[in-house]
Amino acid sequence: MRRDARRLLEKLSRKELRYREFEDAFPDTELWPIFEVILRDERVVGEGVANLPDKRAVPPPVEDHVPPPPAPTPLFERYNAAQAAPKVPPTAAPAKGVDLREFFSRLGDAD
Amino acid sequence: MTLVLMQSPKGGVGTSFLTAQLALHLAARGHDVSALDFTYQDALKLYLGFVPAQEVPDLADSTADALVASGVSLIQGFNVSRRSVFRQRLSRGLDIPFDQSRISIIDISAHDRELLDLLTPYCALHICTLMPDAGSLAVLHRVGGDAPVMSLEKTVFVLNKVDGRQRLSRHSQGFLRDLLGDQLIASVRRDEAVNEALARFESIAKYAPSSAILPDLVEFALAVEARLGLSSDTIGADAAATGGR
């Protein structure tokens, strides 16, 4: 533990720190332009989603005094639906074992 | 073996750190774990408590004893991975009889996309580290190669160095959570104590036992364990005192 942290704890008669989450002042995620670029990138979201019509204009990053952005659009709702879909769990591999090191060593042997 | 690949298209996001922490936590939970460093940096050993001068046994030398840290066997695989015959044989798609009883976690360099592609068919899970910043977001599309990122069934994400005090960090975390859904399996907060512990060759748990990221790292390991289908209530609780020799 850093000395300044230890001194602070001593002043507070505490033995350990408690961490606090800093909540966002805005209820919604700010739509930074880079977010918009990602949402429209087929290499990230796939062709079907990337080509969806976007009803939301791309605003510049807002400052703290600007009111929060509008509620999530259908674009985000679609992601939420995709999120709810169950993912395919990793498939179980055959049980018979082999030593990894031996395997890689064999692969790496010179010709 | 259960193969877990740790690779991000963005360097400097803490992949080696998380590789070491994942290995240590899984070992602490009773799993048989190997950590393989396939990077030129050879830095994985530092996160396991070894000094830079420490020689790590080479994968090509099957007779050498592995370096062991808190139950994790550390092996250096960079030299082997440079051999063309190694990559050729991997590309042929060998039929490997995997043994679920051992977990092997491989740290792959950000630039070594080829190795990631070659090993992916053999892996149970690919974990991509991102940071909640513009640099990571800008390379997100590189994660999937030819396939859309969100369609990758073996790939999951961990967000590292999350800082709730920073606006973009906060918003990026929320954005990625919405975008990736279940593919984002964990978030680890930023803590300078990680860097300080590394400079002392100490584990983060020992150097900063009150660090906020310790529970984050446990959650990360539990999420990976669940993804691998290895969760078990009978395995001893994570001691959280992970790291270091």
Q: What is the pLDDT of residue B234?
A: 41
Q: Please give the C-alpha separations between residue A68 and each of A24, A25, A27, B208, in angstroms, as whole numbers.
A: 11, 9, 7, 37
pLDDT tens for each residue of B94-148? 656 445 568 999 999 999 999 999 999 999 999 999 999 999 999 999 998 889 9
Q: What is the pLDDT of residue A81?
A: 46
The per-residue DSSP string of chain A comes to: --HHHHHHHHHTT-SS--------SSSS----HHHHHHHT-HHHH-HHHHTSPP-S--PPPPPTTSPPPPPPPHHHHHHHHHHHSPPPPPPPPPS----HHHHHHHHH---
Tell me, yes or no, if B148 comes closer than 8 A to chain A by beta carbon.
yes
The share of chain B scoring above pLDDT 90, in percent, equals: 76
Q: Which of A1, A89, A99 sits opposite B208 (nearest CB)?
A: A1
Q: What is the pLDDT of residue B241?
A: 44
Q: What is the pLDDT of residue A92?
A: 43
Looking at per-residue confidence, does B6 or B62 come out higher?
B6
Q: What is the pLDDT of residue B90?
A: 85
User: Given pLDDT bands bounded at 50, 70 and 90, which one contains residue A17?
Assistant: confident
Residue A50 has pLDDT above 80, yes or no: no
What CA–CA distance (Å, rounded) separates A38 from B141? 8
Provide the 3-class DSSP secondary structure of residue B73.
Answer: strand
Q: What is the mean pLDDT of chain A?
A: 64
Are B100 and A87 a contacting pair at CB < 8 A?
no
Amino acid symbol at B227: R
Nearest-Cα distance to chain A for B52, in Å, is 23
Residue from A101, A102, A103, A111 whose CB has the most chain B CBs within 10 Å, to mutate: A101
Looking at per-residue confidence, does B49 or A67 come out higher?
B49
Are B100 and A111 a contacting pair at CB < 8 A?
no
Q: What chain B residue is nearest to A9 in terms of C-alpha separation?
A: B210
Tell me, yes or no, if B9 comes closer than 8 A to chain A by beta carbon.
no
User: CB of B85 within 8 A of CB of B76?
Assistant: no
Q: What is the pLDDT of residue A16?
A: 76
Q: What is the pLDDT of residue A5?
A: 81
pLDDT tens for each residue of B54-89? 999 998 887 877 799 999 999 999 998 899 888 888
Model's pTM, two decimal places? Answer: 0.76
User: CB of A61 within 8 A of CB of A30?
Assistant: yes
Q: Give the range among A49-58, A71-80, B223-232 with minimum mean pLDDT.
A: A71-80
User: Given pLDDT bands bounded at 50, 70 and 90, which one contains residue B184?
Assistant: very high
Q: What is the pLDDT of residue A55?
A: 46
Q: Interface pTM (ipTM) of the complex?
A: 0.85
User: Given pLDDT bands bounded at 50, 70 and 90, which one contains residue B232?
Assistant: low
